[in-house]
Structure 1
Amino acid sequence: MEIPSDLAGPPPADTPVPGFLDAALESFGLGRAQLSPVWRNGAGGLTFSVASAGEASPIDYYVKWNPAAAGESLAADAERLCWIAGRHPAPAAIELVTNAHEEVLLTRALPGESAVSRRWKHEPEVALRALGVGLRQLHSVALDQWPADWNVTHPRGVEDADASDPDGAPSIDRLVLCQGDPCAPNTLLAADGSFLAHVDLARLGVADRWSDLAVMSMSLAWNFTDYDESVFWEAYGIEPDPRRIDYHRRRHNA
Structure 2
Amino acid sequence: MSELSPVLPVEALPPEWRIRLSSYHFERDEVGQSAAGVFKLVGDGKPDLFVKCEPAGPFGELPDEATRLLWLAGAGIACPNVVAPDVHDGQNWLLLSAIPGRDLSVAPITPQQCIEILATALQLLHAIDIRTCPFDQSLSGRLALAKARMEAGEVDEDDFDEARLDQSAEDLFQLLETQKPDGADLVVTHGDACLPNLLAQDGRFSGFIDCARLGVADRYQDLALAYRSVCDDFGEAWGQAFLDLYGVPQPDRAKLAYYQLLDEFF
State TM-score, norm by structure 1: 0.76
Contact preservation (8 Å) 2:32, 2:196: no
Q: Report the Cα distance in structure 2 between the residues aligned to 1:151 and 1:44, rounded to whole angstroms.
A: 21
2:173 alignment counterpart: none
Q: Report the Cα distance in structure 2 between the residues aligned to 1:68 and 1:91, rounded to whole angstroms.
A: 22
Partner residue of 2:128 out of 141, 147, 170? 141
Q: Report the Cα distance in structure 2 between the residues aligned to 1:140 and 1:197, rounded to whole angstroms.
A: 16
Q: How many pairs does the alignment contain?
A: 225
Q: Secondary structure at the match of 2:178?
A: coil
Cα gap change, 1:15 to 1:221, in 2 (>3 Å): farther
Cα gap change, 1:197 to 1:41, in 2 (>3 Å): closer
Q: Secondary structure at the match of 2:139?
A: coil
Q: Offset at 1:105?
A: 0.9
Q: Secondary structure at the match of 2:6?
A: coil
Q: Report the Cα distance in structure 2 between the residues aligned to 1:44 and 1:24, rounded to whole angstroms.
A: 24
Contact preservation (8 Å) 2:107, 2:200: no
> Is 1:49 the equivalent of 2:40?
yes
Q: Report the Cα distance in structure 2 between the residues aligned to 1:44 and 1:111, rounded to whole angstroms.
A: 21
> Is 1:213 the equivalent of 2:223?
yes
Cα-to-partner distance string for 1:109-129 (whole Å, 9 max, x where unaligned):
112111122534xx3322222
Contact preservation (8 Å) 1:45, 1:70: no
- Structure 2: gaps (5+ residues): 142-176
Q: Report the Cα distance in structure 1 between the residues aligned to 2:187 and 2:89, rounded to whole angstroms.
A: 33
RMSD: 3.0
Cα-to-partner distance string for 1:78-135 (whole Å, 9 max, x where unaligned):
1111111131221111111113611221111112111122534xx3322222112111
Cα gap change, 1:182 to 1:41, in 2 (>3 Å): closer
Aligned residues: percent identity? 26
Q: Which structure has the highest helix share of the two?
A: 2
Q: Secondary structure at the match of 1:155?
A: helix
Cα gap change, 1:173 to 1:71, in 2 (>3 Å): closer
Higher relative contact order (CA 8 A, sep 6+): 2
1:32 alignment counterpart: 23
Q: Secondary structure at the match of 2:191?
A: coil
Equivalent residue runs for 1:1-12 within 5 Å = none
Cα-to-partner distance string for 1:145-204 (whole Å, 9 max, x where unaligned):
322xx3111339xxxxxxxxx93333334101111122211111122x222211111111
